[in-house]
Structure 1
Amino acid sequence: MPDSPLEPLDPVSLPPRVDVSDNSAALAAVQAVIDAGPFSSTWDSLREYEVPLWYRDAKFGIFIHWGIPSVPAQGEWYSRTMYLEADRAFEHHRETYGPHNEFGYKDFIPSFTMDRFDPAEWAEVFRRAGAQFIVPVAEHHDGFAMYDTARSRWSAAQMGPRKDVFGELMTAVDGAWMVRGASSHRAEHWFFMNGGMRFDSDVRDARFSDFYGPAQREETAPNELFLEDWLLRTVEIIDQYRPQVLWFDWWLEQPAFEPYIRKLAAYYYNRAHEWGRGVVINYKWTAFAEGSAVYDIERGAMPGIRPDVWQNDSSVGKTSWGWIEDHDYKSLDDLIGELVDVVAKNGNLLLNIGPTADGTIAPAERELLEGIGDWLTVNGEAIFGSRPWLIPGEGPTEVVAGSMIDDAFAPYTSEDVRFTTRPDVTGDYVYATLLRWPDDGVARIRSWGTASGLLGRRIAELTVLGHGAAEWTQDADALCVTLPETPPSAVGVVVKLFLEPVHEPARKDFLHG
């Protein structure tokens, strides 16, 4: 046991339960919004959805895993693994906090204080990092709402910090001119705590069944009451906070969710139509019909350019999304490489951090965000508002495609290049981002050699971002650029071309009028 044991939850202090057994009126209100259109709850109708321009241009957002798991600091799945007798977290919990029937997951709530949480400071850190949209976890698998919900007493507004920390952050995000988002991991709560039903633990205690429940077997389909509650909790987030990004985790592809997903999407898109705002739903695997929302890959990559915009949700840490004491952090080089690779393949990067239980952003995570922001200050022209070029890149380092593979990335080299472009009214700007600085100070871009035929037009101007004009030569094999003696930024370098206009001889620089 620790020197200073945590103070467990006092059951007497709990707010009264919320009765969510009769959802008829709330469901009727949802249906009324769907009936009003323009979207109906059919896949044919939902495929008429169009990804908003702001999201296509944004490229970079911040994901935030924060909540009760930051207290034991053993990872965001601790509420499940601590009740699985075969998992090492089970013994860790018993040795550190005592028997599960005396100190369970709920008993971490009083220590989740967030007493140093400064939403304005967080927003400023994210803005300096270059983030365009912010997606905090509204509710994770553990069933503890980080927002002010009327459907449960188990929320940050009524326990722990006893304030709407989610809402406060959204207000700060508005103040920093970024876009609101929210993630929901509620679907998995159907089974998430079920290990505690197999032995004497507080999951079995009827006084807390509205928190730990349903705690059903993962082999069983969720029933209608749970599915209705999932729908209405998500609707509540939509109506109270108006997020323009709504991110869903992986269990939604269960067949039982399908009709509820369609209703939710139609409701959200119709609400957004009322607001006059462009919104995005992120989904994994096959939960949504293609074209009805934005596909998301967890800690992953695409093999090439995807025709439709997509998203990679990843994290600064290699082993955990939430706060843990011994994070194995990625390097700034790794994170910049991940961002550039995603953008070159028509994707956005949603990069996660995990604040501590008192509401602070760890110095190492703050430093990484500041490093990304510094890099984007110099090179953001090749990222924000860009589009994929003819090919995504070149180089010897193989990028493994798929999900959950970010720890398999080999270090990039100076021969690894990613391309982006932005059309101009008179010509094209094309960017080559070398993912490492070449030792000899010469950037060699093989796809821009005359033999490749990819450029198609004469180079009217060449510059190095953060430096200016540079000497260059071009032959059949490559375009070679003599780089400045001092690297303009901490990671790699970006070479910018302005290609000879196709029709108009006069040039107009889109950045300077």
Structure 2
Amino acid sequence: MNLEPLDPTTLSAPVDVSDNRQALAMVDAVIEAGPYDATWESLSRYGVPQWYRDAKFGIFLHWGAFSVPAFGNEWYPRTMYRRGTAAFDHHVATYGPHDRFGYKDFLPHFRMESYDPEEWVALFKRAGAQFVVPVAEHHDGYAMYDTARSRWKVTQVGPERDVMGDLLAAVDQAWLIAGASTHRAEHWFFMNGGAEFDSDVRDPAYADLYGPALRKEMTPTERFLEDWLLRTVEIIDSYRPQILYFDTGIEEPSFEPYIRRLAAYYYNRAAEWGRDVVINYKWDSFAPGTAVLDIERGTMGGIRPDVWQNDTSVSRTSWSWVEGHDYKDASELIQELVDVVAKNGNLLLNIGPRPDGTIPEEEAALLEAVGDWLAVHGEAIYGSSPWVVFGEGPTAPAAGSFTDAAAAAYTAEDIRFTRMTEVGHDYVYAIGMVRPEDGRMRIRSFGSSSRVLDRPIVDVRVLGSREQPEWTRTGEHLDVVLPDSELAGPGGAVVRIELAPEAAETRIDFFHGLNI
């Protein structure tokens, strides 16, 4: 591929961020003003907002200069410098030696010339998403927003526009929730392979992009940690995201005091704005109850008492745009959403735009298919809560992170449950993971001998149909005949079961003290 290398004469001078004392003092002043201080005890008073519990489904975006080579995955900026890897060999064969054409040289070719943020957001709305979380900066150190702390940013190199700011403005205009993700925490070692041989990583002229490039066995320096904190503070103050997602890297022990400062700052700023916000974290980087746990490409084994999140992608191959994706199909994406929601979670589903700013047709089609299913069956998803059991059936996807290497082999016996309570009505939704070939959903948990059902069934409906379905109840199961409209298409059918109201004595606490 014939790409011209970066013209260094087009670059501004490096930004001097060596003295952070004034900026850090501002951070500490916000923390001191409260209501949160930078201790886990104080941060444990945080409560997850209801809008996030109700939203259930959001869109994640991995975009950046790594989509220009479109080889391997979004870790190309690292693997292209690691000798012995396919990415290293591909880079030399395609672009030449690393001292002549390095990662910096891809940045001018990330142009986003066909980028239309309003068009993107219209697609996300059709998909049924309630929040949108673009990556503000990945491990590569290239800011997808307008930062004052680096010259390596989209407003100066590449598209020469604030692509993240434009997207978040379109998200807000569409009445969706805007978020931002930062993956910078691993940048301190990310490019270190290029320090081992003659490459542009060794060139002092580009140290502000590639540095520190330390060995991974070491720990990040205080200067890097301060810069990480202040870059994140800058995202908070400039864009006011209501979701702040952290990727891996911050679980490194040296980040711990900076994480506490950042969380206190963010929660205090949100209190000033009058907004409820969410932090997503992985592993054990936050104390329980101080933010929302995220499981990458995975699920829980059962219902978690408090809300959590699964972030996954439409592709198994890469989070960013690459050639030759191994895409999941629409049914698998819907199954992931349903399984997560039944276990008290939200799904953050990733796509990867091309470097010209277009969303790949395959990925747009998958989002449209999920949205078509939600348009009919979203009553069972949005605003729901877990039932007494998350589901039934023979198939149990492996719990934990990185378990989506292959699709779960669900059957028509696999069903997930959610619950919705309205004034005078108590609904349980039985969501089929696969549409049954014989057109009948058999729900064991609602058989007359069920041990989990403590009230009579008042009514049975099938979402997507206005007709009263034929249904019978035996000791073994509730047998519902599905209408023809629910026998085909991605995802499964949904049966809504209305239960008799709870006995009056079970509602004493609710009515106690009310003036009625």
When normalised by structure 1's length, the TM-score is 0.97
Give the secondary structure class of the aligned counterpart of 2:66: helix
1:268 matched to 2:245? The reply is: no
Shift of 1:409: 3.6
8 Å contact kept, 1:334–1:411? no
8 Å contact kept, 2:190–2:213? yes
For residues 18 and 416 of structure 1, the distance between their equivalents in structure 2, rounded to whole angstroms, comes to 56
For residues 467 and 434 of structure 1, the distance between their equivalents in structure 2, rounded to whole angstroms, comes to 16
* Residues 8-407 of structure 1 mapped to structure 2, 5 A cutoff: 8-74=5-71, 75-407=73-405
Shift of 1:147: 0.2
Give the secondary structure class of the aligned counterpart of 1:313: strand
Give the secondary structure class of the aligned counterpart of 1:101: coil
Structure 1 spans left out of the alignment, 5+ residues: 505-513
For residues 445 and 429 of structure 2, the distance between their equivalents in structure 1, rounded to whole angstroms, comes to 12
The corresponding residue for 1:510 is none
Shift of 1:458: 1.2
The corresponding residue for 1:428 is 426
The corresponding residue for 2:509 is none
Aligned-partner residue type, residue 231 of structure 1:
L
Shift of 1:66: 0.3
For residues 379 and 453 of structure 2, the distance between their equivalents in structure 1, rounded to whole angstroms, comes to 19
For residues 188 and 410 of structure 1, the distance between their equivalents in structure 2, rounded to whole angstroms, comes to 31
Give the secondary structure class of the aligned counterpart of 1:156: coil
The corresponding residue for 1:499 is 499
Q: Per-residue displacement from partner, 1:288-324 (whole Å, max 9, x unpaired)? A: 0010000000000100000010000000001100001
The corresponding residue for 2:477 is 478
8 Å contact kept, 2:332–2:491? no
For residues 244 and 257 of structure 2, the distance between their equivalents in structure 1, rounded to whole angstroms, comes to 18
For residues 194 and 293 of structure 1, the distance between their equivalents in structure 2, rounded to whole angstroms, comes to 32
Give the secondary structure class of the aligned counterpart of 1:501: coil
The corresponding residue for 1:507 is none
Shift of 1:77: 0.1
Between the two proteins, the alignment pairs up a number of residues equal to 501
Aligned-partner residue type, residue 262 of structure 1:
R
Give the secondary structure class of the aligned counterpart of 1:171: helix
The corresponding residue for 2:408 is 410
When normalised by structure 2's length, the TM-score is 0.96
Give the secondary structure class of the aligned counterpart of 2:486: coil
Structure 2 spans left out of the alignment, 5+ residues: 505-516
Give the secondary structure class of the aligned counterpart of 1:252: coil
Stretch deviating more after TM superposition (422-431 or 341-350): 422-431
8 Å contact kept, 1:253–1:286? yes
Aligned-partner residue type, residue 259 of structure 2:
I
Shift of 1:413: 1.2
Give the secondary structure class of the aligned counterpart of 2:348: strand
Aligned-partner residue type, residue 124 of structure 2:
F
For residues 415 and 264 of structure 1, the distance between their equivalents in structure 2, rounded to whole angstroms, comes to 46
Give the secondary structure class of the aligned counterpart of 1:486: helix
For residues 336 and 350 of structure 2, the distance between their equivalents in structure 1, rounded to whole angstroms, comes to 13
The corresponding residue for 2:514 is none
Aligned-partner residue type, residue 333 of structure 2:
L
8 Å contact kept, 2:465–2:485? no
8 Å contact kept, 2:111–2:159? yes
Give the secondary structure class of the aligned counterpart of 2:420: strand
Q: Per-residue displacement from partner, 1:128-178 (whole Å, max 9, x unpaired)? A: 100000000000000000000000000001110011000000000011110
Shift of 1:427: 3.5
8 Å contact kept, 1:400–1:408? no
Stretch deviating more after TM superposition (451-460 or 73-82): 451-460
8 Å contact kept, 2:57–2:348? yes
8 Å contact kept, 1:179–1:244? yes
Q: Per-residue displacement from partner, 1:435-494 (whole Å, max 9, x unpaired)? A: 111111110001111111322111111100001320111111000001112327532100
Give the secondary structure class of the aligned counterpart of 1:191: helix
The corresponding residue for 1:509 is none
For residues 485 and 382 of structure 2, the distance between their equivalents in structure 1, rounded to whole angstroms, comes to 24
Q: Per-residue displacement from partner, 1:188-207 (whole Å, max 9, x unpaired)? A: 00000000000000000000
Aligned-partner residue type, residue 498 of structure 2:
F
Shift of 1:422: 1.1
Shift of 1:503: 4.9
